[in-house]
Structures are given as structure tokens and as C-alpha cells.
Amino acid sequence: MTRIVLKFGGAAIASTDRIQEFAKKAVAEKNRGLDVVVVTSAMGRTAKELAKMARDLSDDASKRELDVLFSTSSQVASALCAIALQEAGYDAVSLTGWQAGLLTDAKHRNARIGDVAVNRIEKHLAQGQIVVVAGEQGIDGAQNITTLGKGGAETTAVAIAAAINAERVDIFTNVEGVYTADPNHILGAKKLKEISYDEMLELSNLGSHILHPRAVELAKKFQIPVIIRSCELDVTGTLLKEEVEVEKNLIVRGVAFESDIIRLTVGYDAYSDASLADMFTVLAENRINVDIIVQAIIDGLKPSVSFTILKEEFAQALHVLENSKLSLGFSFADFEVGLAKVSIIGSGMASNPGVAARMFDRLRREGIPVKMVSTSEIKVSVVVPQDDMIQAANALHAEFNLAEALQE
């Protein structure tokens, strides 16, 4: 039988009335003759209350116990969804992440899925039940509860879809789909009918918070179609798949931006002291995500390497560098705050030279300084002053005619 995975979160589980409403979407798919798995995210209000209680007790609670604590929020949501489905006359069962077979590594608060043992899900589906899985969580090799961090629910949904060979995943969000840019800030932003895995991965990594990069990576790896759709409105969403139709030969298909970027600069007395491999290995081992990297080796000046990180990882990055200063051999570390990253994305950029030059020229005409640059085949990112972020994004959206060129 054909299967589908639905991910509910945010507005969909904000109240019992909303849970009842969204249970109808699972019922509609079941009535179409499909096997249905629902994945729930944590209930925002409950998670905030739990976080406050933990802070009241300790400023340094262990990550293991925090995982045990916060895993309960999505469990509450999954149980309530199952109750709503049962009340609607359908056989449903809720499962925790570990009951559903989500096996992870032991990195508490930011675990990675290693495997999904779906025997129990398969058994319930064979019995005709709608299975409701608490997202964002799993269990490690020592049988400890783990949570997956940001994007855990959609990552869970895609991982389960791959494991049970689902037809697709529907991700219900607070937006109607994927837009050429954030419609709350960018004049004329338009919804895309389709977007490729590669383009969505770049958007997700570059500031779009619609779908987490880990979920996109899994969808691409297992070729799982994903539809990003609205929690509020019954409208067509955006289909995420391998190859998409190019709307009117658009070279750039999206503009993304991200605030609170920090540039860290590490300097050495001599080039022989520098080891980029050692430095970025230490940062990676501590799950600190490094983005744009620029190394400077100039005669007469001390060599240095600069890289960008997110504001929330700044304190940990400084702590890691300070603790590793002796082994890494650097002489100083400096930082710059008040920065933002603005990016253009499009698979058509690979075969159309001159896009970066056009981007830089538009920013120059806008009087916006570019502090760092990073490129790939399908994106160009620049670091600019945060006060110029929205102006830069709007200018680039207009420069590449995204409002006018895209068909509805």
C-alpha cells in the first residue's frame, strides 16, 4: 500500500482545536487508501515552560537530562494527535522516537540519526493504524534518550519516509511554500512551484528557516519528494524534488539572508604554526558550524584565517579556541559583530557566467560594502553590515527580476 508521512508542528499543534483540525488532514489521506505516519514537533508553549523550570533549578543542567526533559514536549503532541484521531473514529497509536526505532549517536541536544528500525511502525501500519511519532528524538547505543536539535521533526519525518518507502512527505509550516525571498521583508517575493534539492539545501544553509538542511540532505539522498505547505490555508505548496522546470529561464531563483553573523579571525606568528585542518577539526568535533573561510598570507604581515559563525555559537567557539590555543599554535583571536550574510541562489548560475559581477555591481551602486565572499556553482554569498541586510536583499531581488519574471 502507498504510504505518506505528514509532519505537524507550530500552529498545527498549538491548541486542542488545531490538533482536531489537523487530524482531519491525516484522516483525508487515510480515506484515500494510504498508509499514514504523522510526525509531531515539540509544542512551543510546553517547551518554553520546561526550559524555564530547568533554568530555575540549574544554570548548568546536564545535556542528558535536558534531552529527557525536552523529549516529553513532542511526546505530548503525538499523544494528543493520536487521541484526536481515535475520537474521530480511526485506529491510531502514538510512539516515542525510540519506540519508532530512531537510532542516533550520543551527541545530546544535537544528535544525528544513524538508522531507523521500522519494525514496530510496519506492524502498526499492517494493522491499519495511523502511526503518530514524536519527532525530534531518538535513542543512542547506550539506551539514552537523545534529541536532534533544530529541524529535528522534519528530519525525523524524512528519515521515516525513506525507511518505509513513503510516496512523499508533507511538511506543514507557517508559510504557504518556498518563496524567492522572505515575503515579510522583500517587496514582490513570489512563491515557487518547485525547487530542487540543491537549491533548497543552499537556501536552508543560508538563512531560510522553512526546512532544516539535514532534512533536505536526507530527502536528496533517498529521492523523497517533499511538499512544503501552509498550516493555515488550503493552497498549493512548493514541491521539493531533484530537477525542476526553470521558470522563464531564471538564473537566480532565490535570495536569502541571515542576521547576527560574527567574523572570527585567528592569527599566527608564522605560517609554519598554522594548521587549518587542526583548527577546523577541533571546531567540528564540538559541532560548531563554520561558514565562509578566508585565509590571508601576505609578505610582511602575520598570517591569519577568518571565518563566520552564528551568534548563538560564538561563546562556545571562543571557549573551544581558548582551551585549544596551545595545541593549535595561534597567537591571537579577534572578532567582529554586527554582520549579516546575503546570498543569491539558482541552479542556472552554473552555466551563466557574470552573475557574481552583476551582484557586486548592484551592491556597489547601493553603497553597501562587501566584507567577505563565498561562492559555489549555484550560490554567491556576501557578508555585509547588518544594518544594510534588508536593503541588500531587496536590491538583489530586484536586480535579478524575481518579482516580474516568476510565473504564478
Within-domain flag for 190: no
pLDDT tens per residue, range 53-76: 999 999 999 999 999 999 999 999
Within-domain flag for 62: yes
Residues 158, 279: one domain? no
Residues 155, 260: one domain? no
pLDDT tens per residue, range 331-387: 888 999 999 999 999 988 888 889 999 999 999 999 999 999 999 989 999 999 999
Residues 161, 300: one domain? no
Domain boundary among 141, 173, 205: 173
The model carries a pTM of 0.85
Q: Which residue numbers in the chain have pLDDT < 70?
A: 245-249, 405-408
Residues 266, 159: one domain? no
Within-domain flag for 368: yes
Residues 169, 286: one domain? no
CATH of the domain at 268: 3.30.2130.10
Residues 128, 25: one domain? yes
Within-domain flag for 201: no
Residues 157, 262: one domain? no
Residues 164, 287: one domain? no
Q: Quick one: pLDDT at residue 245?
A: 66
Residues 274, 376: one domain? yes
Q: Quick one: pLDDT at residue 170?
A: 97
Residues 285, 376: one domain? yes
Give the range of the structural domain holding residue 295, as residue numbers without chain letter. 255-405
Domain boundary among 173, 208, 228: 173
The count of structural domains within the chain is: 2
Q: Which three-class secondary structure string do you get for the chain?
A: CCEEEEEECHHHHCCHHHHHHHHHHHHHHHHCCCEEEEEECCCHHHHHHHHHHHHHHCCCCCHHHHHHHHHHHHHHHHHHHHHHHHHCCCCEEEECCCCCCEEECCCCCCCCEEEECCHHHHHHHHCCCEEEEECCEEECCCCCEEECCCCHHHHHHHHHHHHCCCCEEEEEECCCCCECCCCCCCCCCCECCEEEHHHHHHHHHCCCCCCCHHHHHHHHHHCCCEEEEECCCCCCCEEEECCCCCHHHCCCCEEEEEEEEEEEEEECCCHHHCCHHHHHHHHHHCCCCCCCEEEECCCCCCCEEEEEEEHHHHHHHHHHHHHCHHHHCCCEEEEEEEEEEEEEECHHHHHCCCHHHHHHHHHHHCCCCCCEEEEECCEEEEEEEHHHHHHHHHHHHHHCCHHHHCCC
Domain boundary among 146, 173, 200: 173
CATH of the domain at 142: 3.40.1160.10
